[in-house]
């Protein structure tokens, strides 16, 4: 009971402290009502500011066209190379072994597995924003919702709905299209590994 009374007294003391401080503010330091209304109208709502900031951030993902082109040209040199699980070149590759090898040829070190590569760089949300050299990720055979495959963007269709990519898959290093039934069902997302 004594504790409750003590807590109530402390709370009243804090309230009176803040009330007294608020009353001590000189009235001439506060804006008049018309001024306050004008300020409120001129300032955008916080939600709108955050939304604009998010749009700018997504639109301003850095991209180096020379680097992207070089990544693609390097990848295409290995068309037809064999697929071997656990291999990372130069004569045989698995999917992430291929992407890590191609990037290493550009003096850029990325992690070895497709799942870990999916944590690197900057996510690219829309297919229409993809560029040459970006990494694209797909679900695996066993679980289409978990990253299990990776490739390198070669080109994006003008419609912005599909892209072609070079990758190491069964049958070896080849070029595929995201519109193919197997890949369209399994597409998970993309990452841009930037090198300026």
d(CA 171, CA 196): 34
Catalytic residue selected from 95, 153, 168, 193: 95
Mean local confidence (pLDDT), 185-194: 94
CA distance 133 to 12: 64
Domain range for 29: 2-43
Backbone region of residue 154 per phi and psi (left: phi > 0; alpha: psi in -120 to 50; beta: other values): alpha
* Residue 134: other Cβ atoms inside 10 A: 25
Do 156 and 95 fall within a single domain?
yes
User: Residue 61's pLDDT is what?
Assistant: 80
26 plus 120 within the same structural domain: no
Q: CB-based contacts of 96: which residues, under 8 Å, 6+ apart?
A: 88, 112, 113, 114, 117, 150
Residue with tokens 């068309």: 79
Let me know: does 97 contact 193? Beta carbons within 8 Å: no
Residues 39 and 70 in one domain: no
Q: Which of 94, 114, 124, 149 is catalytic?
A: 149
**pLDDT tens readout for residues 5-28:** 444 443 444 444 444 443 443 444
Q: Is there a contact between 70 and 108 (Cβ–Cβ < 8 Å)? A: no
At 36 the pLDDT is 46
Domain match, 113 and 187 both: yes
53: in domain: no
Same domain, 98 and 148: yes
pLDDT value for 33: 55
Is 2 an active-site residue? no
> Is the preceding peptide bond at 90 cis, omega within 30 degrees of 0?
yes
pTM: 0.69
CA distances to 50, 70, 90, 105, 176 from 97, in Å: 39, 18, 10, 12, 18
Q: Are residues 39 and 73 in the same domain?
A: no
Q: What total number of domains does the chain contain?
A: 2
Identify the active-site residue in 101, 103, 127, 167.
167
Q: Which residue has the higher pLDDT, 170 or 10?
A: 170
Summarised one tens digit per residue, pLDDT across range 51-71 is 433 443 444 688 999 999 999
175 and 109 together in one domain:
yes
pLDDT over 60 (residue 44): no
Per DSSP, the residues of 60-96 read T----HHHHHHHHHHHHTTTTPEE-TT-BSSSEE-HH
Whether 28 and 119 map to the same domain: the answer is no
The pair of structure tokens assigned to 11 is 């709370």
DSSP one-letter string for 127-179: GGG--TT-EEEEE-SS-TTSEEEEEEEEEE-TTSS-EEEEEEETTEEEEEETT
Residue 125: which CATH number?
3.90.1720.10
12 domain residue, yes or no:
yes
**SS3 (DSSP) at 22:** helix
């Amino acid at each position: 009971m004594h504790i409750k009374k003590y807590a109530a007294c402390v709370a009243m003391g804090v309230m009176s402290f803040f009330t007294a401080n608020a009353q001590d503010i000189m009235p001439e330091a506060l804006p008049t009502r018309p001024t306050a209304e004008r300020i409120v109208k001129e300032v955008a709502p916080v939600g709108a500011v955050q939304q604009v900031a998010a749009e700018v951030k997504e639109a301003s993902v850095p991209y180096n066209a020379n680097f992207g082109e070089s990544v693609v040209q390097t990848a295409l040199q290995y068309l037809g190379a064999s697929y071997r699980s656990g291999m990372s070149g130069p004569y045989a590759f698995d999917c992430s072994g291929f992407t890590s090898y191609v990037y290493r040829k550009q003096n850029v070190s990325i992690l070895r597995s497709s799942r870990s590569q999916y944590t690197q760089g900057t996510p690219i949300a829309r297919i229409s924003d993809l560029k040459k050299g970006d990494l694209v990720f797909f679900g695996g055979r066993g679980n289409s919702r978990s990253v299990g495959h990776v490739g390198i963007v070669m080109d994006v269709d003008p419609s912005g709905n599909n892209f072609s990519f070079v990758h190491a898959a069964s049958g070896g290093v080849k070029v595929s299209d995201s519109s193919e039934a197997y890949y369209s069902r399994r597409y998970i997302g993309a990452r841009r590994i930037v090198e300026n």
